[in-house]
Structure 1
Amino acid sequence: MRYRELADCLSEDQPVYGIQAVGFEGEAEPLTDIHAMAARYVKEITALWPDGPYNLYGWSFGGVVAFEMARLLRSDNREVALLALGDSPAPVPAEARPREPKEEEILFHILMEAGNGQSTLFDELQDMTPADRLDRLKERITAESRLGSLGDLDRFMGIFRANRQARLSYQPASPWEGRLVLLVATGRTQLLDMEGQHFRIKLGPWEGLARQVDRHVVPGDHFTMHRQPNVREIAEVLKKYLGT
């Protein structure tokens, strides 16, 4: 869902393939290690497109996985023509890792990520008790058909926690030897924490993890940057690097 509008904005002759995380369907448990995720996804894309070159783009946590995929492809002497990350947080040092999020915080994040959150909902939740906030969020999520298609809520929360564990434990074995294109959302992102604060997604210092980092500021916040009309600017940036 996240990349559909972006794919529609790219050139008609530009093929786009999406990779679905393990755990959304079937009985498989979600992976909790970025190295394992990247190895699995590299196997999938090289089976589909064995000769390359490869253009990789990932948003948020997906960008961190794309970064490791690029490293694995390059180590296998495969050409990575483009590595682009959309508002992706850099690997976190062990001493800087945040606390474990509460259930209500995860639910709010899920709702925003699915594109169904509203700024009025954020304000509404601040006046509720923790128990009422949790009930209200579950009510909103179960009413959303787009979220319902992802399976039961417990499974989705399990994937969120698995991805978080994978991101916080990830440290790349070596920097990326090529150029990294980083798309940074300009808007202030609303997330729910214990104090009900508004804060920006912290991207961290990608500059130390790649030979060259090209930063591009794009409209929207972390959750709206891939929606119209914001997504058109992301597509224009990517087209320049794709040469289309």
Structure 2
Amino acid sequence: MNSPLATGTRSYRRFHPAPGARSRLVCFPHAGGAAGTYTALSKELAPDTEVLGVQYPGRQDRAAEKGVGDIHELAAGVVEELVPLLDDRPLALFGHSMGALVAYETARLLEHEHGAPAAMLFASGRRAPSRRREGERKIHLKDDQGLVEELRALGGTDERLLAEPALLEVILPPVRADYRAVETYRHRPGPEPRCPFTVLVGDEDPRTTMEEVDDWRLHTDGACTVEVFPGGHFFVLDRTQEIAALVSARLRGLAPTA
């Protein structure tokens, strides 16, 4: 099970090498997030499941690259580097908020363009891909101060980063690109993934309703279950152990791919 990750890739970070892992989980961060968001989850799942955190362009060690303001383009870049890493282990995808959309589009590309279907998709903190809200704010068009205020209101971003002007010059461009990607996303008709979905949501998340979450079942030919956790939009940061237990239970027993 030697992996090309031993020499590194642009898009993936492996926090806890697990050469004997029975499955692999690719994790997609929220808007403005980075691969390191999933370090704690990786620790909980090792050594049975190897976690690969996706590092989007424009942040941290990819800061020299321009942020990508399109969900479909982000997914295509993820898939391009993921296909050579595939082996006989079941592959699952986990995405939170914007990451749920990137994970979903990644699943579509893997299955219908590369013949490599994912074994399972975990979509967290995001309404279904076909769900739109009329008159929704265009946060990516706000000035820098407006973008900072939005990040403060939503939570999930270290306040020390938002208070440092020099850091904001580095942080805000990829954040703006991420918001552009989410706010301009439109679901494209076409074949849906066949893998089962598990949808996670916080019971106090202002960004989703249960009706919007339930519509994820329209986007898979497999089973779709919804799991509700205490908390707001970033409940995932406070519920790592519970989420790891859920993921482990769902991945247990998956058969190796042919």
TM-score range, shorter chain: 0.7 to 0.9
CA contact (8 A) 1:218 1:234 kept: no
Counterpart residue identity of residue 166, structure 1: A
Instruction: Work out whether 1:180 is the aligned partner of 2:215.
Output: no
CA contact (8 A) 1:54 1:82 kept: yes
Give the whole-Å Cα distance in 2 for the aligned partners of 1:172 and 1:3.
29
Q: CA deviation at 1:210?
A: 2.1
Residues 175-184 or 67-76, more deviating:
175-184
Give the whole-Å Cα distance in 1 for the aligned partners of 2:201 and 2:115.
30
Give the whole-Å Cα distance in 2 for the aligned partners of 1:94 and 1:243.
34
Instruction: Work out whether 1:113 is the aligned partner of 2:156.
Output: yes
Give the whole-Å Cα distance in 2 for the aligned partners of 1:88 and 1:95.
13
For the pair shown, the structure with the greater C-alpha radius of gyration is 1
Superposition map of 1:191-202 within 5 A: 200-202=206-208
Give the whole-Å Cα distance in 2 for the aligned partners of 1:224 and 1:94.
22
Superposition map of 1:213-232 within 5 A: 213-227=224-238, 230-232=239-241
- Does the C-alpha gap of structure 1 residues 93 and 9 become closer, same or farther in structure 2, counting only changes over 3 Å? closer
Counterpart residue identity of residue 234, structure 2: F
**Highest relative contact order (Cα 8 Å, sep 6+), 1 or 2?**
1
Give the whole-Å Cα distance in 1 for the aligned partners of 2:52 and 2:135.
32
CA contact (8 A) 1:10 1:235 kept: yes
1:15 partner SS: strand
Aligned to 2:102: 65
Give the whole-Å Cα distance in 1 for the aligned partners of 2:170 and 2:63.
11
- Does the C-alpha gap of structure 1 residues 109 and 9 become closer, same or farther in structure 2, counting only changes over 3 Å? farther
What is the Cα-based RMSD across aligned positions, in Å?
2.6
Count of aligned pairs between the two proteins? 203
TM value normalised by structure 2: 0.69
Q: CA deviation at 1:5?
A: 1.5
Superposition map of 1:1-244 within 5 A: 1-24=36-59, 25-51=62-88, 53-75=90-112, 76-91=114-129, 96-101=134-139, 102=142, 103-111=144-152, 112-114=155-157, 116=158, 141-142=162-163, 152-168=167-183, 169-174=185-190, 175-186=192-203, 188-189=204-205, 200-202=206-208, 204=212, 205-211=215-221, 212-227=223-238, 230-243=239-252
- Does the C-alpha gap of structure 1 residues 240 and 72 become closer, same or farther in structure 2, counting only changes over 3 Å? same
List runs of 5+ in structure 2 lacking aligned partners: 1-35, 254-258
CA contact (8 A) 2:201 2:227 kept: yes
CA contact (8 A) 2:117 2:193 kept: no
Give the whole-Å Cα distance in 2 for the aligned partners of 1:87 and 1:180.
13
Q: CA deviation at 1:18?
A: 0.7
Q: CA deviation at 1:182?
A: 0.4
Q: CA deviation at 1:91?
A: 3.0
List runs of 5+ in structure 1 lacking aligned partners: 118-138, 190-199
Give the whole-Å Cα distance in 2 for the aligned partners of 1:90 and 1:79.
20
1:58 partner SS: strand
Give the whole-Å Cα distance in 2 for the aligned partners of 1:209 and 1:177.
9
CA contact (8 A) 1:52 1:79 kept: no
Q: CA deviation at 1:164?
A: 2.0
Aligned to 1:127: none
